[in-house]
Amino acid sequence: WRRSAGFWLPKSVQHRPQTWFQFKRGYTQEIRLRGPADGEPLQPFGWIVHTHKAKSGWLERSALFRVLAWPYLFKNYSVGDLAEFLEIYGIPLRLGKYPSGATQKEKLTLMRALAMIGHNAAGIIPQGMDIEFQKAADGDPGAFQLMMEWCDKAQSKAILGGTLTSQADGASSTNALGNVHNEVRKELTDSDAKQIQKTLTRDLVWPIAVLNGLATEADRCPCFVFDTSEREDMAQFAKSVPALVNLGFRVPRQWAHERVGIPEPEDDEDILQPVKRLGANPPQPPAMATAALNRQREERTMADDLDDEMQTVTDEWIDRIRALVNDAESLDQVRDGLLALLPEMDIERYADLMAEALRVAELTGRDDIMEEANGGAART
């Protein structure tokens, strides 16, 4: 520990080998420093002790070590046996023949020649000596390879929970099975992270909080947490979120940033802008935007005035026709009454209003086309 800016903080964290420690068995198993009898208890606030519960059982049997010890040992023996097999049976047997009466020096010369031929494919021997190449005995290296493959799969299943995230046999390995094995690997990763974060909270965060007077109860102490959430597929996320928003879902922006792993920008930080599409109008200055808004209001007012005048004419026609139908006693009277009302209806006024409305619509359309051609410039 060290004192920094008025706070007690860890100066360093040093790894100590397992040979320093021993177990004390009882109702609750405990790791202690090696010493007489049951050993020495670990000093509070001086150790970070992580006991990983990979499987049930006694504490010394709960880690992955006991599960991986045998596959590790068998694999190393199999690799050594395979190397020895290839060295013995991979090179043909060389048999040297020397004549009777050969001296010890001549025999050593023949032996060196046999060794040189085996590794260098070249050598010399005295005249009168022969070298024969014998066929090596038949052997099958598949047994060693089978043992090594079994060890690899056993280690992968113990560590990752499956085999298809680290190796594929070409027979039963499919994308669907690979995704299933990957889900198991993700669950093991999350479980390991939860166990480690509990250890760091108990042996690191809690001592810092207590020594600096920041917490007096474990329930009030901050917790060390790993972020194990996986990021969303941006392509799928960009399609689904706008659809949900259009349906009325209220999606917080901070949640969306966390799901895709994009941090919120700072106030003075540069941000990416959407690329302007070809032919799209540039953003208008405030004065131009105000003028455009005023023009829209004038056009809307003119259309409302024409609609009111036309409504007055059509209301008069409807009232007279309704009175005629109410007073008539037969369809013949309705027909004769309509023929009598037709000359009295102000058709010319209605036609004038329609012509005026068409002229306004045509002028408005031309004006909009000219504005788009000028890139949104102000009208004169």
Q: Is 276 a member of any domain?
A: no
Are 72 and 150 a contacting pair, CB within 8 Å?
A: no
Q: Is 49 a member of any domain?
A: no
Residue with tokens 């094995």: 181
Cα torsion angle, 286, 289, 295, 301, sign: negative
Which positions ≥6 away from 212 have C-beta within 8 Å? 7, 8
Q: Is 21 a member of any domain?
A: yes
Which positions ≥6 away from 265 have C-beta within 8 Å? 271
Are 237 and 259 a contacting pair, CB within 8 Å?
A: yes
**The pairing of beta strand 30-33 with beta strand 21-24:** antiparallel
Which positions ≥6 away from 286 have C-beta within 8 Å? none
Q: Is 11 a member of any domain?
A: yes
Report residue 121: phi and psi, to 5°. 60, 30
Question: Which alpha helices (DSSP H) does 226-346 contain, by range?
Answer: 234-246, 253-260, 286-327, 331-341
Q: Is 336 a member of any domain?
A: yes
CA distance 351 to 241: 51
Q: Is 367 a member of any domain?
A: yes
Q: Is 292 a member of any domain?
A: yes
Q: Which two tokens stand for residue 12?
A: 């360093």
Q: Which two tokens stand for residue 154?
A: 């056993």
If one counts every other C-beta atom within 10 angstroms of the C-beta of residue 349, the result is 13
Q: Is 93 a member of any domain?
A: no
- Give, as one character, the DSSP assignment of residue 40: B
Per-position pLDDT tens, the chain of length 380? 999 888 999 998 999 998 899 888 766 678 889 988 888 889 989 999 988 877 776 777 677 777 788 888 888 888 888 887 776 666 666 777 778 778 888 888 878 877 777 666 566 666 667 766 656 556 667 777 788 888 888 887 777 766 665 555 555 555 555 566 667 777 778 888 898 999 999 999 999 999 998 888 888 888 999 888 777 778 888 888 888 888 888 888 888 888 888 888 887 888 887 776 555 555 555 555 455 555 655 655 666 666 666 677 677 767 777 777 787 778 777 777 766 766 665 556 656 666 666 766 776 666 667 666 655 444 44
Query: Strand, coil or helix: what is 96?
Result: strand
Q: How many domains does the chain have?
A: 2
CA distance 20 to 56: 24
Are 141 and 86 a contacting pair, CB within 8 Å?
A: yes
- Residue 21 lies in domain: 1-36
